[in-house]
Amino acid sequence: MKVLILIHVLSAIIGVGPTFFVHLLTRPDKDVDELRIAMKYSRLLEFYPKVGGSIAVLTGIALFLLGEYGSFTQIWLLGSLFLYILIQIIVIGFITPLTKKVNEWLGRPENLALSGAPPEEIQTALESIHRRFYLASSLGVLLFIFMILKP
C-alpha cells in the first residue's frame, strides 16, 4: 500500500508539475525567436501530464478500492476528480488548440526567418494560453489541497 501511495503522489507531482511553470514559457511578451524555443520546450513538457496524470488517476482509483477511505461520494474525493477533469478540459480543450495554432504559425515557411514581435493574432492566442494555464495551475493547487487535507 505504501508503494502505491508513493507512486500516486510522485505521478501526481510529475503529472501536474509542468502546469505550474509552463506559463513562464507562454508569456505573451516573447519575440518570435524566444517563442520558437518556448514552444519547443512546451511540447516536450506535454509528455509528463499525459503519463503522470494518467498514472495518478489509476493509482488513485486503486488506493480508494484497496483502502478504507469511506464513501465514494465524499466532497474531497468527488471534488478532486472534478478538479482533475476540469484541468484536463482546460488543457486539452482550450489550451492545446491555441498552442497548435501558434506552432502552425511558427512552422509556416514564410515565418521561419521572422524575428521581432509576433503578429497580434498570435499575441492574442498567447495571452489566452497564458491566462488559461494560470487557471489550470490554480485548480491544480486546489486539487493538491483536497488530496492533502482529506479526512
pLDDT tens per residue across span 24-76: 888 888 899 999 999 999 888 888 888 888 899 899 889 888 988 878 788 88
pLDDT at 147: 83
Cell numbers for 102 = 501558434
Structure letter (DSSP) for residue 111: G
- How many residues appear in the chain? 151
Q: Of 70, 73, 122, nearest to 98 (Cα)?
A: 122
Q: How far apart are CA 112 and CA 36, in angstroms?
A: 10
DSSP, collapsed to helix, strand or coil, labels residue 118 as coil
The cell numbers describing 69, all together, are: 477511505
pLDDT band at 139 (very low <50, low <70, confident <90, very high): very high
At 26 the three-state DSSP class reads coil
Cell, residue 11:
505521478
pLDDT, tens digit, 9 for 90 and up, residues 83-115 = 988 998 998 899 999 999 999 999 999 988 888
pTM equals: 0.85
